[in-house]
A and B are shown apart, each in its own frame.
Chain A
Amino acid sequence: MVPLTHYLIFSAVLFSIGVLGVLIRRNAIVVFMCVEIMLNAVNVSLIAFDRYLNQHDGQIFSFMVMCVAAAEVSVGLAIVIALFRNKATVNLDEINLMKW
């Protein structure tokens, strides 16, 4: 049997990889993909806790996480398309209109 700690470490490693990607990549689309990695990592730990505590709440919660991810991706990619139309780049360093 796999102890719960292994699932949590797996989830933590995936989450850290996602954070790493958001911090070091400048391509807006790759940054979105790294956000997806983070959401998936959270889903893993929710479902693992569910299995080890014999409950269903975590599965419902990760269902909601999937809904939010779908909404986030559709709006985010629409924003990327709108930005690309104006500036012809998806490099986040060059999109600094709202920087202080």
Chain B
Amino acid sequence: MELLIFYPLALVSVILALFVVFNKSPIGSAVCLIGMMLGLAGVFILLQAHFLAILQIIVYAGAIMVLFMFVIMLLNLKDDDTKWKIRERNIFLSSATGVLIVGILYKIIDVTTDTKFDSPATVPDNFGTVEVVGTALFTDFVLPFEVASILLLAAMVGAVVLAKSKVD
């Protein structure tokens, strides 16, 4: 039953990710990316990470993609990609990088074909709820949480400074 839910979600996500890469217009890429993120939210729900699934929809599909859309509309980029093609210059380097990445990922997957990972651990009913994740976030991980808030503040100030003044 879980397989019947997982495979369509995974297939749709991978196809939409490919559309993000091969779409001619940036707006089309952004719409496909929103679809991919909704698919991933479904995968998260399948893994019982409800809090992260909701965050995925609110933060990624909501906030971040709206920012992308806003910038694409602001810069009016619709004609910019008509000359797009694969560059021949770096084709050897790109192929070498691809082989390397596939090798590394294969090795990582190979390590995890341990019998321990064949079926999921038995988890309590409240696994991945806002309550449990929030408790962990505010007790064991309170320092990283505060550091993340400083990071977001720095990013906010940086974005305002960069977008406001003219770079010489």
- A contact residues vs B (CB 8 Å cutoff): 1-10, 12-21, 23-27, 29-30, 32-34, 36-37, 40, 43-44, 47-48, 50-54, 56-57, 59-60, 62-64, 66-75, 77-86, 89-91
Contact = CB atoms under 8 A, between A and B. Distances in A.
Contacts of A64: 144, 148
B121 A33 contact: no
B167 A44 contact: no
Contacts of A17: 14, 17-18, 20-21
Contact of A48 (B47, B56, B119): B47
B162 A75 contact: yes
Nearest to A39: B60
Contact of B152 (A10, A36, A54, A67): A67
Nearest to B32: A33
Q: Interface on chain B toward A: helix, strand, loop, or mixed SS?
A: helix
Contact of B74 (A24, A27, A81): A81
Contacts, number: 225
Interface residues on B, range: 35 or more
Interface of B: 2-3, 6, 10, 13-14, 17-18, 20-21, 23, 26, 29-30, 33, 36-37, 40, 43-44, 46-49, 51-52, 55-56, 59-60, 63-64, 67-68, 71-72, 74-75, 77, 80-81, 84, 86-87, 90, 94, 97-98, 101-102, 105, 108-109, 112-113, 117-123, 127-128, 132-133, 136-137, 140-141, 144, 148, 151-152, 154-156, 158-160, 162-163, 166-167
